[in-house]
Amino acid sequence: MPYDPKEPLKDRITDIGPRHYGEFLPPVIKNNKGKWLYHEITQPGVLVHVAESGEKIFSVRVGGCRLMSVEHLKEICDIADKYCDGYLRFTTRNNIEFLVQDESKLKPLIDDLKSRKFEGGSNKFPIGGTGAGVTNIVHTQGWAHCHTPAIDASGVVKAVMDGIYDEFGSMKLPAPVRVSLACCLNMCGAVHCSDIAILGIHRKPPMVDSEWIDKLCELPLAIAACPTGAIKPAKTADGKKSLEVNAERCMFCGNCYTMCAAMPLADEDGSGIAILVGGKLSNSISKPKFSKVVIPFIPNEPPRWPSTVAAVKNILDVYSKDARKYERLGDWAERIGWERFFEKTNIPFTHHLIDDYRFAYTTWRQSTQFKF
Amino acid sequence: MGKRNTPMLDELEKGPWPSFVSDIKQQAEKGKHILKEAPTDLLGVMELSYVDKVTHWKHGGIVGVFGYGGGIIGRYCDQPQEFPGVAHFHTVRVNQPSSKFYTTKFLRSLCELWEKHGSGLTNMHGSTGDIVFLGTTTDHLEPLFFEMTHELNQDLGGSGSNLRTPECCLGQSRCEFACYDTQEACDNMTHEYQDELHRPAFPYKFKFKFDGCPNGCVASIARSDMSVIGTWRDDIRIDQAAVKAYVGGEFAPNAGAYSGRDWGKFDIQKEVIDLCPTNCMSWDGSKLEINNRECVRCMHCLNVMPRALRKGLDTGASVLFGAKAPILEGAQMSTLTVPFLPMEPPFSELKELVEKVWDWWMEEGKNRERLGELIQRKTFQEFLRVTELDPDPRMVDEPRSNPYIFWKEEEVEGGWTRDIDAFRAKHQR
């Protein structure tokens, strides 16, 4: 029975959750689950996993745009049907993995993937994203779908990935480099532990739409949303209830706008990009760590954000030349010292980079050990 | 359908990386989606943002399906007259299967469903792991949900102040490092807590993420209120012959992950022994030894020599709580709370633990206060009390350096009630 709008609750099914993953595992994976012996990356983007039974599964990893059409998805399905017995998966970082059980189909798959291009000329399925290289950038919605962004997401990612395309398809860096983008500091993309984080920030305090604010918002909630107590009640000249922002106390987090649509803060000059570096998630060798702000602001430069691309490339190049094997970007910066990081990358150190929020004191230097 | 003039976005068709602009155009031209103008108008409104350098999307309104408080995010364009195809452009979050494996049959059925009820545009996947259907109108929501549940046996994901769609790494399905079945844990916990996922009852969002080992491929330590990270308690299994094969150059170190540059011959001393964070390994030229009691399971040696070293057999997970992005008190990573928890279905210990945490958070948490912030505000000691766990030096990097201990009356001999007159009898004013 199709959906009947007259009886929306008839035969309703709820709370069934996702489909069981077991339905979607290729037979080789099903048979060897929990019994994998080792893996090898035979070339950038191509992995083989070998089980205790001796059986193998080949995976070809390709970069994908997170913003993806069903036409593209259907093409992915066609490819998986032809070479992968209809099995594939997506990775946490928006890559697509074609899972090949029959080794003879591996090379034809790779050749096929390399041959496919969008009408505009870009590659549909770049192969890579493994080992000591740059993998796909995880990102947020940006101007494609979000109400709070300071920057676009998909466009900045496209421009940056074009700029560091070679590093996606190769494994010549000192360690893996994870680049992430969040278009505002709500950080749906949680970029705060990335080797290189591209973060949208605002620099102008919210405007107050006094004509409408009392109708659109719960004023006490907007006041309570401010972490620095910069928002207080006010009245307009004609007696309407409104709010007032102490601009000097504003740290541009946008939390008030999240709570109250009548306090917009995005601005063509005020909003732009901050670059953070040196975070990691893995416990390997060193502990997980946060990314640190090294460039406080780069203007929004659509359509191709050249200054941001150049900044990422510069940091990546200097790191690549200077770091030791296995050193993640943050490990390298800590070994050489942050004073050397700024010297080597030629990035100016400004007062914006000294923490003055909640845990600030823990990041100041309380020793005489420093480098000239 | 009309074409829009998008000179700035067209610049993003150039270059080698896949172009989302080309892809949206391909959908606009060839797609069978029902909301015909949606892809074209999405490009149009994005072009306008590229000119204005500001978004043109408004705050979400309250839309959803009957009985659920999450899974759909309302979205409206602030130039609806100019871009009617995306005037209403709601997001649908669809709960992905564990580890995002698909058959083409299922993926095609999702595509067809979305062609029938939306823009034909998706996110594969959203930041929290959902399949995201990007852009539809309110009248399509109930039919879409009906067909999804009846024909695809598939449910929505989470949004708002509820349990968000749990996510896991690929775990034992294709990884030799996985210390427990992350897929099963994720699937089991998702089904157990459907009510919490669909009906907001929490102060704010709550995320589970399941990492199979301390490499942390699904970022649980940074991104989830409860991070479940695989670990083991016994010894790393060593295949000495395979170690020699790495030293002798027969096996590629790091599974070939560093092969793009000539780093010289593999040097086990320099690349493994000397980089061990606790210096618990030694190599005498023929035998690798590990003092397992001192090992902190950082994974480096296993990552470098996966054919020679394997995780132990007494496996389970460490459970950490409280990670979040900077909003509002600053970013936090999860704090180690249970060093080792068995991770066998039906995961009763884990469920018991998280339910205690939820009860406390729902009682004490302020509106929009994440668990990590509540622990900060109410103290870790209080968190231990509610989880009924004993303090353990593994929970801290170091003991406190300030002596401001909040002693409890019952901890102090004789209690706090004293007689000032008795005191004065001995001490003049």
State yes or no: pLDDT of A367 exceeds 90.
Answer: no
What is the DSSP secondary-structure string of A186-209?
T-TT--TT-SEEEEEE--SPPP--
Residue A117 binned pLDDT confidence (cut-offs 50, 70, 90): very high
Cβ separation of A33 and B172 shorter than 8 Å?
yes
Residues in Cβ contact with A233 at an 8 Å cutoff, skipping those fewer than 6 apart: A219, A223, A241, A242, A243, A244
User: Cα–Cα–Cα angle for A10, A12, A15, nearest 5°?
Assistant: 165
Using a 10 angstrom Cβ sphere, with 0-12 exposed, 13-18 middle and 19 or more buried, the burial of residue B192 is middle
Q: Does B16 touch chain A (CB under 8 A)?
A: yes
* Pick from A334-338, A355-359, B392-396: least confident: A355-359
pLDDT at A1 over 80: no
- The verdict on a CB contact (< 8 Å) between B103 and A87 is yes
Percentage of chain A exceeding pLDDT 70 = 100
Q: How confident is the model at residue A316 (pLDDT cuts 50, 70, 90)?
A: very high
Give pTM, 2 decimals. Answer: 0.97
- Report pLDDT for B1: 46
Q: A303 contacts in B (CB within 8 Å)?
A: 8-9, 11-12, 50
Per-residue pLDDT at B329: 84
pLDDT tens profile B160-206:
999 999 999 999 999 999 999 999 999 999 999 999 999 999 999 99
Q: For position A359, what pLDDT does the model report?
A: 80
Nearest to A17 among B30, B190, B218 (CB): B190
Q: Check: CB of residue B175 under 8 Å from CB of residue B185.
A: no
> How many whole angstroms separate alpha carbon B203 and alpha carbon A151?
29
Nearest to A49 among B147, B174, B259 (CB): B174
Round the average pLDDT of chain A to a whole number and report it. 96
CA distance A254 to B231: 39
The phi-psi region of residue B351 (left if phi > 0; otherwise alpha if psi is between -120 and 50; otherwise beta) is: alpha
Chain A CB within 8 Å of residue B344 CB: no
- pLDDT tens track for A150-163: 999 999 999 999 99
Interatomic CA distance for residues B407 and B399, integer angstroms: 16
In chain B, the residue whose alpha carbon lies closest to the alpha carbon of A265 is B54
State how far residue B325 is from chain A, nearest Cα, in angstroms: 6
| Cβ separation B330–A57 shorter than 8 A | no
**Which structure tokens are listed for A32?**
């060897």
Low-confidence stretches of chain B (pLDDT < 70) are: 1-2
pLDDT exceeds 90 at position A360: no
**Mean pLDDT in residue range A275-284:** 97
Phi, psi (5° rounding) for residue B171? 55, -145
B264 touches chain A (CB under 8 A): no
> What is the four-CA torsion angle of B391, B397, B399, B403, rounded to 10 degrees?
-120
Strands B208-211 and B167-168, sheet pairing: parallel
Q: Is the pLDDT of residue A366 over 90?
A: no
Q: Do the Cβ atoms of A225 and A180 come closer than 8 Å?
A: no
Reported in sequence order, the residue ranges of B26-96 that DSSP labels E, i.e. its strands, are 57-58, 72-73, 76-77, 91-94
- Verify whether the Cβ–Cβ distance A304 to B31 is below 8 Å: no
Mind listing the pLDDT tens digit for each residue in B297-355? Answer: 999 999 999 999 999 999 999 999 999 998 888 899 999 999 999 999 999 999 999 99
For residue A11, list chain B residues with Cβ-Cβ distance below 8 A: 150
Q: Considering only CB atoms, which chain B residues are within 8 Å of A16?
A: 149, 153-155, 194
Q: Is the pLDDT score of A190 beyond 80?
A: no
pLDDT of residue B330: 86
Q: What are the tokens at B336?
A: 């180690």
CB distance A77 to A96 below 8 Å: no
Give the C-alpha separation, B6 to B46, whole Å.
9
